[in-house]
Amino acid sequence: MNSKLQTPIDYLKGVGPNRADLLRKELGIHTYQDLINLFPNRYLDRTQYYKIAQLQRNNADVQIVGRVTGLKEVSQGKGKRLVASFKDDTGAMELVWFRGAKWLKESIKLNTDYVIFGKANAFGTNFSMPHPEMELLEEHEKNLRSAMQPIYPSTEKLSNKGITNRVLNKIMQQLFLETHGKFEETLSQNLLSDLKLVSKSEALFNVHFPKNQELLARSQFRLKFEELFYIQLQLILKNLIHKSKIKGFTFDQVGEHFNTFFKHYLPFDLTNAQKRVIKEIRADLGSNAQMNRLLQGDVGSGKTIVALMSMLIALDNGFQACLMAPTEILSVQHFNGLSELCNNLNIRIKLLTGSTKTSDRRIIHEALENGELDILIGTHALLEDKVKFKNLGLAIIDEQHRFGVAQRSKLWKKNTIPPHILVMTATPIPRTLAMSVYGDLDISIIDELPPGRRPIKTVHRFDSNRLKVLRFIRDEIDKGRQVYIVYPLIQESENMDYKDLMDGYESISRDFPSPKYQISIVHGKMKPADKEFEMQRFIKGETQIMVATTVIEVGVNVPNASVMIIESAERFGLSQLHQLRGRVGRGAEQSFCILMTSHKLSSDSKTRLETMVRTSDGFEIAEVDLRLRGPGDIMGTQQSGILNLKIADIIKDNDILKLARFHAKEILKDDPRLIKDQHRPILFTYQQVAKYKNIWNYIS
Ligand code: ADP
Ligand code: MG
């Protein structure tokens, strides 16, 4: 690499120790290299001129040519301001200064053409521009500076200490002077010519000193591509290494359990998506590398059957399998459901959760260790050290977002060679984002719901319409349906939320009195056994209403429940709302989701509610969610570096991301160790940016 670029920023002319210190602390700029990678947030386009009559109330920075026709000082309270009348051939406006009146009065030339630049604020139908930048038109035309003015990221401290945008701009100019604007190329010639990318030097110059919109756009494209390309390269390499380094059990048989189940006991035809995903998993299990696969599928898309059939393959090859779920309720439900499906298969399944009795536990532990148990289902109780398998071959985790990476790695250690891992999640992540975030996982997607599902009708109702909603609930119950009523429960204000829940429960109990109506309640403060009892009452249809907090969110399956009421819906995130809605619409009846809110709604809340009403496509909802919240909350984004992007935007630059991923893949397919001559700049750059520098040593 250009060694000059490693020079500490202190040495750049015009910087010095104080400014260097500020740049380090405030912007993380230590070297010339860091400075050159400080990219402008936006640009002021000074190629455009506005007429006064064209001004809009939009707060944009504008540039106008006109003349000052008069100046006056106006007193206001203690202060004074200088006001100029400014005119062009379409109208008049005011320019205002709160400081420097004396100097301005002396230097401003009346009735001479000026170019002014700044924000025009609207007052009624008049516009006024405070502290405009002013330049005589004559000089303006002589000036050769870039017409597009870059605006750099800044902090309050920086501008207070005099490192303004102008100063940053100057410093940047100095950097280009000292380096002669020549920077080593970081992409291969092939990429440059195939994609018609501008060179590195040209891109850097034009991003800091754009000559025009077109060059700026091409330069930004090139730099964004490069940034995303190296992230993808690292992720793909990591995945390749994982596959060649981490050996896994080879399940080469598809045997009796799988075939018998498939032929005789499969309760429905698999959807095409389910078939495809099972094929993908079978291929992984049959290779000699450890599987690390993420299975994404919207709520109700039928992930459970995929899990079961994968476990049957493990059993057919003489291994044990386990399925871990995030809550007791869900574990029990999986246990019951899977036990029933395997009824005729001569498979030994047990359930292990926090509330399993010690004596039962001992029996399970023993049976696991001597191989008398085939499948273990449970909560994170499975992770305890005491839980030892004779020969665990496949571990499945349901609802990934509740578990962390640490827990995944605990499962790895449950056998001498790590078992295959299948992680299932109903939180849809836009595919490209998932690919770039979960670099070490392969991804399967079930993008098709089982046939015959009726779309859930979703509406938004204000609390003031509660009576109507109650009437609706009553009608549905009279038709034999069951209803969920969910209250938010957010950690910080748990006590208050708990009160909301109990108040809600009481008022529901009044509106739906026993013995005609029976109500279940489930929340986080209850003992697992009580929760389970209440849950079972609802599942069996003994209660018609389930009042609950979000513990109900994950995976629960009660086909006869067809109404989901979400109280204070504005307090839920989009993906949570979507998950909750997924609890209904599982049976043959028309299902409903009613989002209750007060009238006070933020604009984000409104967007969330509108989105829920408009669509039930999990991926579309995920996109909106991503736009509202940014990628910060998505698991794993912190590790992948995807959040520390300097110039690209993971959402807006999705197309560039796909392109970068495609080319990174192609290059590695052709030359996995990047040893070909033409890939030298890529190898070189990779070594600079990658955390694991000699990663390719592993690739055979
Ligand atoms: P999720 O992906 O949310 O875990 P489940 O596996 O719980 O979904 O499946 C939801 C419901 O759909 C279950 O009642 C299941 O039996 C049913 N189901 C799954 N696959 C199919 C299919 N191919 N045809 C019909 N029903 C299916
Ligand atoms: Mg599920």
Q: What is the residue with the minimal CA distance to atom 26 of ligand 1? A: 450
Percent of the chain with pLDDT over 90: 54
pLDDT value at residue 480: 95
In the numeric block, which tokens belong to residue 17? 């120790």
Who wins on pLDDT, 575 or 459?
459
Who wins on pLDDT, 653 or 435?
653
Distance from the CA of 194 to the center of ligand 1, in angstroms? 46
Kindly report, residue by residue over 17-28, the tens digit of the pLDDT: 999 999 999 999
Neighbours of ion ligand 2 (CB under 5 A): 555
Starting at the edge strand found earlier in the chain, the sheet holding 545-548 runs: 457-462, 592-597, 561-566, 482-486, 545-548, 519-522
Distance from the CA of 449 to the center of ligand 1, in angstroms? 8
Distance from the CA of 278 to the center of ligand 1, in angstroms? 14
Strand partners, 84: 71, 95
pLDDT band, very low/low/confident/very high, at 76 (cuts 50, 70, 90)? confident
Percent of the chain with pLDDT over 70: 90
Pocket lined around ligand 1, Cβ cut-off 6 Å: 268-271, 274, 297, 299-305, 426, 450, 555, 557, 586
- Contact between 305 and 274 (Cβ < 8 Å): yes
Task: Determine the atom of ligand 1 nearest the C-alpha atom of 270.
Answer: 23
- Contact between 424 and 295 (Cβ < 8 Å): yes
pLDDT value at residue 689: 77
Out of 305, 331, 425, mutate this one to test ligand 1's pocket (max ligand atoms within 8 Å of CB): namely 305
Who wins on pLDDT, 640 or 500?
500
pLDDT value at residue 498: 75
* Close Cβ partners of 258 (under 8 Å, ≥ 6 residues apart): 309, 312, 313, 316
In the numeric block, which tokens belong to residue 211? 């000559």
The pTM is what?
0.67
- Contact between 652 and 627 (Cβ < 8 Å): no
Distance from the CA of 395 to the center of ligand 2, in angstroms? 15
* Close Cβ partners of 81 (under 8 Å, ≥ 6 residues apart): 73, 74, 96, 97, 98, 101
- Quote the distance between the C-alpha of residue 250 and its chain's center: 34
pLDDT value at residue 636: 44
Distance from the CA of 304 to the center of ligand 1, in angstroms? 7
pLDDT value at residue 437: 61
Q: How far apart are CA 169 and CA 565, in angstroms?
A: 55
Average pLDDT over residues 35-46: 88
Task: Determine the atom of ligand 1 nearest the C-alpha atom of 306.
Answer: 6
CA distances in angstroms from 542 to 183, 263, 538, listed in the order given: 74, 35, 6
Q: How far apart are CA 471 and CA 342, in angstroms?
A: 42
Tell me the residue type at 328: E
Q: How far apart are CA 442 and CA 239, in angstroms?
A: 8
Tell me the residue type at 385: D
pLDDT value at residue 554: 57
Average pLDDT over residues 344-355: 94
pLDDT band, very low/low/confident/very high, at 567 (cuts 50, 70, 90)? very high
Who wins on pLDDT, 238 or 6?
6
- Contact between 442 and 293 (Cβ < 8 Å): yes
Distance from the CA of 298 to the center of ligand 2, in angstroms? 9
pLDDT band, very low/low/confident/very high, at 11 (cuts 50, 70, 90)? very high
pLDDT value at residue 481: 96
Residue 414 has pLDDT above 70, yes or no: yes
Angle at 160 between CA 154 and CA 165, to 5 degrees: 40
Average pLDDT over residues 558-582: 91
Out of 276, 557, 586, mutate this one to test ligand 1's pocket (max ligand atoms within 8 Å of CB): namely 557
- Contact between 119 and 96 (Cβ < 8 Å): no
Average pLDDT over residues 607-635: 80
pLDDT value at residue 640: 44
Q: How far apart are CA 516 and CA 454, in angstroms?
A: 29
Distance from the CA of 155 to the center of ligand 1, in angstroms? 52
Q: How far apart are CA 364 and CA 350, in angstroms?
A: 7
* Secondary structure of residue 210 in the 3-state scheme: coil
Q: How far apart are CA 681 and CA 573, in angstroms?
A: 44
Give 73's Cβ-side CA count (13 Å radius): 13
Among 139-143, 230-234, 297-301, name the one with the lowest average pLDDT: 139-143
- Contact between 118 and 130 (Cβ < 8 Å): yes
Q: How far apart are CA 233 and CA 687, in angstroms?
A: 11
The C-alpha R_g of the chain, in whole angstroms, comes to 32
Task: Determine the atom of ligand 1 nearest the C-alpha atom of 559.
Answer: 14
* Close Cβ partners of 385 (under 8 Å, ≥ 6 residues apart): none
- In eight-state DSSP terms, residue 393 is E
In whole numbers, what is the pLDDT of the chain averaged over residues?
87
Tell me the residue type at 25: K
Q: What is the residue with the minimal CA distance to atom 15 of ligand 1? A: 302
Who wins on pLDDT, 424 or 575?
424
Average pLDDT over residues 58-76: 87
Angle at 440 between CA 224 and CA 197, to 5 degrees: 20
pLDDT band, very low/low/confident/very high, at 700 (cuts 50, 70, 90)? very low
Residue 306: nearest ligand to its CA?
1
- Contact between 544 and 483 (Cβ < 8 Å): yes
- Contact between 472 and 595 (Cβ < 8 Å): no
Q: Are strands 126-130 and 121-123 parallel, antiparallel or unpaired?
A: antiparallel
Q: How far apart are CA 268 and CA 245, in angstroms?
A: 39
Number of CB atoms found within 10 A of residue 419's CB: 26
In angstroms, how far is the first alpha carbon of the chain from the final one? 27
Kindly report, residue by residue over 636-673, the tens digit of the pLDDT: 444 444 556 889 887 778 789 889 999 999 999 999 88
Residue 181's φ and ψ, nearest 5 degrees, are 65, 20
- Contact between 650 and 642 (Cβ < 8 Å): yes
Residue 583: nearest ligand to its CA?
1
